[in-house]
Structure formats: C-alpha cells, structure tokens
C-alpha cells in the first residue's frame, strides 16, 4: 500500500476506491492503511462483495460493518480489535476466510460468534489468545470452538503447514482433468474415423 493513503479517512478512501462504480458491481475492496477506529462510510449496497481488506486501519470496533451477503474473505489484521465478532457472524453469513492476525483477541469466548459460520480458515497470529497454552492446546481449543475450521494460522489441526489456501485446489484439479480430455486425445480419434470412412468408400467403389 502506498504511503500517500496513510492518513486518509475511511469514508474518503471508500469513495476513492469505488471510482464512481455501482457498489452492487464491486467484488473486491481494499481499504488498507486508512485511519478509523470504527467502520465508516462503507455501503450496505455492496451486495456482491466477495473480498474486503481493512488492514492497519486502527479499528477498535466492528459494530458498523454492513451486511455483506456474498463476502467470503475478510482481512482485518493489524488493528485493535478485542471482540465484537458477532457483527462479522451476523452480517457475513458466507464468510470462509478471516484474518485477525495482530489484534487483541484474548479469550476463546471472543471467538464464540464465529461458530455459526462455515468458517474454513482463520489467522490469529500475534494475538494474546495464542500465548500461555502450549501450541497443541491452543490449536485444540480453537478447532473445538469452531467445528467447521480446517486451517488455523496456516496449518491444519495437527499443526502441519498447508501450502495453499483452500482457494484454487479445485481449479487445479479441473485443469488436470481438462488436459486428459483435451484436443490431443480427441484429435487422433477423429482422424482415425475420417480415414476409416475414406477407406470404406474406396473399397465400395472397387
């Protein structure tokens, strides 16, 4: 993020990022580096928004988070959020990926609202909640609190790193299967049929 946006207010930054677009057509929105203790000016008309980033904003509250019915990825890392995740759970029903790294989440109870989501990936690096317990105890508690969770801090329930996020794995599989049924395989078959028909016609004429 360029430093020129370092101290712009969130509402002004939102207007700048939209560039006169209809909010209903926006799928990705980045408000990183603006300055606001709470969410300001973000429209509830972002009905097709899929990814929202508000990194290093100074957020202390999520109470003004609008309803975002299609949002699947929310990055609010590097802020001062200590709770209020019920606003995320209530307003982002399709959320799959949540980045809360470098905030002030201290208790397992703070994460309880996320249980109602189908959250698959969560980042809690550099939060007080990661301190005190052993790594395995910490991971066990979080996975128990959010049953749908598959990836925590970039690793699975056993602490093994996951190379790629859950996005794109199906795409890779589709590409592989596409190669197997591609034109390279179909080509020789069609050519063979054409040649067979040609030979058959020649024999009939004889």
What is the SS3 assignment for 65-88? CCCCCCCCEEECCCCCCCCCCHHH
- By the 10 Å C-beta count (0-12 exposed, 13-18 middle, 19+ buried), 156 is classed as middle
Q: Report the pLDDT value the prediction gives residue 7, as an integer from 0 to 100.
A: 67
Q: Report the pLDDT value the prediction gives residue 195, as an integer from 0 to 100.
A: 44
CA-based radius of gyration for the chain: 25
Going by C-beta distance under 8 Å and a sequence separation of 6 or more, which residues neighbour residue 33? 1, 3, 5, 6, 55, 56, 57
Mind listing the pLDDT tens digit for each residue in 75-85?
A: 999 999 999 99
Q: Report the pLDDT value the prediction gives residue 4, as an integer from 0 to 100.
A: 41
Distance, in Å, from the CA atom of 132 to the CA atom of 201, rounded to the nearest integer, reads 83
Distance, in Å, from the CA atom of 94 to the CA atom of 96, rounded to the nearest integer, reads 6
Q: Report the pLDDT value the prediction gives residue 173, as an integer from 0 to 100.
A: 41
Going by C-beta distance under 8 Å and a sequence separation of 6 or more, which residues neighbour residue 154? 123, 161, 162
Q: Report the pLDDT value the prediction gives residue 95, as an integer from 0 to 100.
A: 99
Residues 40, 41, 47, 53, CA torsion sign? negative
Q: pTM value? A: 0.77
The neighbour count for residue 42, using CB atoms within 10 Å, is 22
Mind listing the pLDDT tens digit for each residue in 112-130?
A: 999 999 999 999 999 999 9
């Amino acid at each position: 993020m360029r430093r020129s946006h370092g101290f712009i207010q969130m509402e002004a930054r939102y207007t700048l990022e939209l560039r006169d677009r209809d909010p209903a057509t926006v799928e990705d929105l980045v408000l990183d580096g603006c300055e606001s203790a709470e969410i300001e000016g973000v429209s509830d008309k972002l009905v097709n928004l899929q990814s929202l980033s508000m990194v290093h904003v100074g957020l202390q509250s999520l109470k003004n988070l609008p309803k975002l019915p299609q949002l699947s990825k929310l990055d609010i890392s590097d802020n001062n959020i200590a709770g209020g995740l019920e606003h995320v759970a209530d307003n982002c029903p399709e959320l799959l990926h949540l980045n809360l790294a470098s905030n002030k989440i201290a208790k397992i109870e703070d994460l309880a609202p996320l249980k109602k989501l189908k959250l698959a990936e969560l980042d809690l690096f550099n939060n007080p909640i990661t301190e005190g317990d052993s790594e395995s105890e910490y991971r066990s508690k979080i996975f128990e609190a959010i049953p749908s969770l598959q990836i925590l801090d970039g690793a699975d329930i056993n602490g093994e790193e996951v190379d790629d996020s859950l996005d794109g794995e199906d795409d890779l599989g589709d590409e592989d299967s596409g190669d197997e049924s591609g034109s390279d395989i179909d080509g020789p078959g069609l050519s063979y049929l054409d040649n067979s028909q040609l030979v058959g016609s020649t024999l009939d004429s004889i």
